[in-house]
């Protein structure tokens, strides 16, 4: 139990909604500081390392390799209570939030860090016929669908059905679409080729569909051209300037009137903020994100903060702060410092408006990287540009570093690296085929 705060007599109640990168970092930053009584609520019981979700979707990693129980991560933080609940509403005037369980959570400070969700840009009906990639369940669904389709293709004697079963369409040529396309091409054309007797897995089509002129638009032009050339060299069909106008069960329709039949359609074309941002009573942008004050508090609500993928703001160079894990982590760390400093000022008897003294959030851009199949990647960091093997090694190094700290199980990492280097991903077991009745 937290001990009472000397200045107020009570510890401050900090409510964190979301145990992702931002929420977890704030909880860690306040851990064992008895001036705070922290409650972290997440609708899942785990923190998820989303940058490696595509590896679960493409059978290179198992789910536990990229997720860890939030309760376990925070087991030594004695002033932090972790609860699994889905927050359904926030009532800022009453300083409280309500969960799906019916529980009401009150707070002195609130951090809304519930992350992003898949967005269909107003075409919500498409969700029923496509698979998103935001959660472990999504990744397992993609893997199950593609692997099950290959099994069905091995069974069928109908050539047209076999072609349909062996077509994977990925909509969206950003980093997620590119990483998925490259990994699927590697899985199918390298790893699975000797596993089937009736079908030729090299005939499986992986089609990457992008509405604009280039894939990886946020990278330099030559990096995006390089990514396209490499994907094509490993068998991915890249279609740019191709606008999807409709998605039906097992088929896509395009602006030019053509259609494509595909048994697996993956939507990697857009995300929007968690709808909880609508509860705060401030304007949001088209993606549902909030523009906070420079300290990350909500205009007119100094006790409510927003962080991570829910934030729309610009950095010192007037570039948008991207929706990436380092930005979310930095925001969580910034808020931990801010809250501690605020209580320190209070304890010293400061009587002015302490909110005016709050530090501004400064984003430190560490660059970005995208993997394009085995041995190939692109890196853009400051003035540095890498591509090919060097970029891939940099990617591997950064992600292994992250995971070691994250899961602390070197054995899992070595096992993954071993199967990756041998072209032999292990996570190919289909637990619930899509046609079975699940328990
Ligand atoms: C496929 C994919 C690949 C990515 N690759 C990269 C990459 O290579 N590099 C990179 O830097 N970034 C990458 N990102 C982006 C990065 O993962 C996000 O920017 C980061 O996770 C944002 O952190 P966050 O704390 O805002 O939200 P999240 O990490 O998304 O966490 C939000 C948490 O809130 C919980 N939650 C949501 N709604 C509720 C609710 N109503 N009640 C309670 N809990 C709730 C969720 O369960 C989740 O745990 C990738 C994202 C995806 C989806």
Q: Which domains, ranges and CATH numbers included, belong to the chain? A: 12-118+271-357 (3.50.50.60), 124-269+409-421 (3.50.50.100)
3-state secondary structure of 277: helix
Q: Is the CB of 86 under 6 A from ligand 1?
A: yes
Q: Is the CB of 53 under 6 A from ligand 1?
A: yes
| Angle in degrees, 0-180, between the axes of helices 389-407 and 410-421, rounded to the nearest 10 | 150
Q: How much is the pLDDT for 437?
A: 40
Could you tell me the pTM of the whole model? Answer: 0.92
Q: Is the CB of 165 under 6 A from ligand 1?
A: no
Most distant CA pair in the chain, distance? 81
Residue 437 Cα to chain centre, angstroms? 29
Residue pair 407/399 in contact (Cβ under 8 Å)? The answer is no
Most ligand 1 atoms within 8 A of CB, residue of 47, 115, 118, 327 to mutate: 115
DSSP 8-state secondary structure symbol assigned to residue 267: E
- Active site annotation includes 179: yes
Q: How much is the pLDDT for 203?
A: 87
Q: Is the CB of 309 under 6 A from ligand 1?
A: yes
Instruction: Say how many Å lie between the CA of residue 414 and the centre of ligand 1.
Output: 25
Most ligand 1 atoms within 8 A of CB, residue of 51, 113, 142 to mutate: 51
Instruction: Say how many Å lie between the CA of residue 51 and the centre of ligand 1.
Output: 9
Q: Which are the contacts of 403, defined by CB distance < 8 A and separation ≥ 6?
A: 49, 52, 65, 66, 413
d(CA 120, CA 132): 10
Q: Exposed/middle/buried for 397, CB within 10 Å: 0-12, 13-18, 19+?
A: exposed
Q: How much is the pLDDT for 107?
A: 98
Q: Whose CA is nearest to atom 52 of ligand 1?
A: 50
Number of Cβ within 10 Å of residue 224's Cβ equals 21
Q: Phi and psi dihedrals of 394, rounded to 5?
A: -60, -45
Q: Phi and psi dihedrals of 256, rounded to 5?
A: -80, 5
Residue pair 289/298 in contact (Cβ under 8 Å)? The answer is no
Q: Exposed/middle/buried for 94, CB within 10 Å: 0-12, 13-18, 19+?
A: exposed
Which one is catalytic: 25, 37, 179, 210?
A: 179
Residue pair 402/36 in contact (Cβ under 8 Å)? The answer is no
d(CA 49, CA 65): 9
Look-up: residue for tokens 């509860």? 279
Long-range CB pairs of 184-190, under 8 A, 24+ apart, other chains included:
184/58, 184/146, 184/236, 185/231, 185/234, 185/235, 185/236, 185/373, 186/58, 186/234, 186/373, 186/374, 186/423, 187/58, 187/59, 187/60, 187/425, 189/234, 189/235, 190/374, 190/423
Look-up: residue for tokens 């501004």? 360
d(CA 169, CA 65): 26
Q: Is the CB of 172 under 6 A from ligand 1?
A: no
Q: Is the CB of 51 under 6 A from ligand 1?
A: yes
Instruction: Say how many Å lie between the CA of residue 210 and the centre of ligand 1.
Output: 23
Q: How much is the pLDDT for 424?
A: 62
Q: How much is the pLDDT for 311?
A: 98
Q: Whose CA is nearest to atom 20 of ligand 1?
A: 325
- Name the stretches of the chain with pLDDT < 70: 1-9, 402-413, 415-428, 431-439
Q: How much is the pLDDT for 63?
A: 82
Number of Cβ within 10 Å of residue 221's Cβ equals 11
Q: How much is the pLDDT for 3?
A: 42
3-state secondary structure of 31: coil
Q: Exposed/middle/buried for 411, CB within 10 Å: 0-12, 13-18, 19+?
A: exposed
Q: Is the CB of 177 under 6 A from ligand 1?
A: no
Q: How much is the pLDDT for 262?
A: 95
Instruction: Say how many Å lie between the CA of residue 220 and the centre of ligand 1.
Output: 25
Residue among 313, 355, 353, 354 at smallest CA distance from 330: 313
Look-up: residue for tokens 């609940």? 85
Q: Exposed/middle/buried for 338, CB within 10 Å: 0-12, 13-18, 19+?
A: buried
d(CA 382, CA 385): 8
Whether the CA torsion 283, 332, 108, 38 is positive or negative: it is: positive
Atom number, ligand 1, closest to the C-alpha of residue 114: 34
């Amino acid at each position: 139990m937290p001990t009472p705060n000397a200045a107020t007599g009570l510890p401050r109640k900090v409510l964190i909604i979301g145990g992702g990168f931002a929420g977890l970092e704030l909880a860690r930053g306040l851990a064992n500081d008895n001036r705070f009584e922290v409650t972290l609520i997440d609708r899942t019981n785990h923190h998820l390392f989303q940058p490696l979700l595509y590896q679960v979707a493409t059978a290179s990693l198992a789910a536990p390799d990229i997720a860890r129980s939030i309760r376990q991560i925070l087991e030594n933080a004695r002033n932090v209570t972790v609860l699994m609940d889905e927050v359904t509403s926030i009532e800022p005037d009453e300083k409280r939030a309500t969960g799906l369980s019916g529980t009401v959570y009150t707070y002195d400070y609130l951090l809304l860090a519930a992350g992003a969700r898949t967005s269909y840009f107003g075409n919500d009906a498409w969700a029923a016929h496509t698979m998103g990639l935001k959660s472990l369940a999504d990744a397992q669904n993609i893997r199950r669908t593609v692997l099950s389709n290959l099994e069905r293709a091995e069974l069928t004697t109908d050539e047209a059905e076999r072609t349909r079963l062996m077509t994977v369409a990925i909509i969206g040529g950003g980093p997620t679409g590119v990483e998925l396309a490259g990994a699927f091409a590697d899985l199918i054309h390298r790893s699975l080729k000797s596993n089937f007797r009736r079908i030729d897995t090299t005939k499986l089509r992986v089609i990457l569909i992008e509405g604009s002129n280039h894939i990886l638009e946020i990278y330099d032009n030559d990096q995006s051209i390089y990514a396209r050339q490499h994907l094509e060299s490993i068998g991915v069909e890249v279609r740019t300037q191709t606008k999807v106008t409709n998605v039906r069960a097992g088929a896509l329709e395009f602006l030019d009137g053509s259609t494509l039949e595909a048994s697996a359609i993956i939507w990697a074309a857009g995300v929007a903020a968690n709808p909880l941002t609508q509860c705060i009573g401030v304007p949001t942008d088209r993606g549902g994100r909030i523009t906070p004050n420079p300290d990350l508090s909500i205009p007119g609500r100094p006790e409510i903060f927003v962080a991570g993928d829910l934030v729309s703001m610009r950095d010192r160079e007037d570039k948008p702060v991207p929706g990436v894990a380092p930005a979310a982590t930095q925001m969580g760390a910034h808020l931990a410092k801010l809250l501690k400093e605020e209580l320190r000022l209070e304890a010293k008897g400061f009587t002015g408006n302490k909110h005016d003294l709050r530090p501004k959030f400064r984003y430190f851009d560490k660059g970005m990287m995208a993997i394009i199949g085995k041995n190939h990647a692109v890196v853009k960091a400051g003035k540095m540009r890498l591509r090919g093997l060097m970029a891939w090694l940099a990617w591997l190094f950064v992600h292994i570093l992250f995971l070691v700290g994250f899961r602390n199980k070197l054995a899992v990492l070595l096992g993954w690296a071993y199967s990756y280097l041998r072209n032999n991903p292990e996570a190919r077991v289909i637990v619930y085929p899509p046609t079975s009745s699940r328990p």
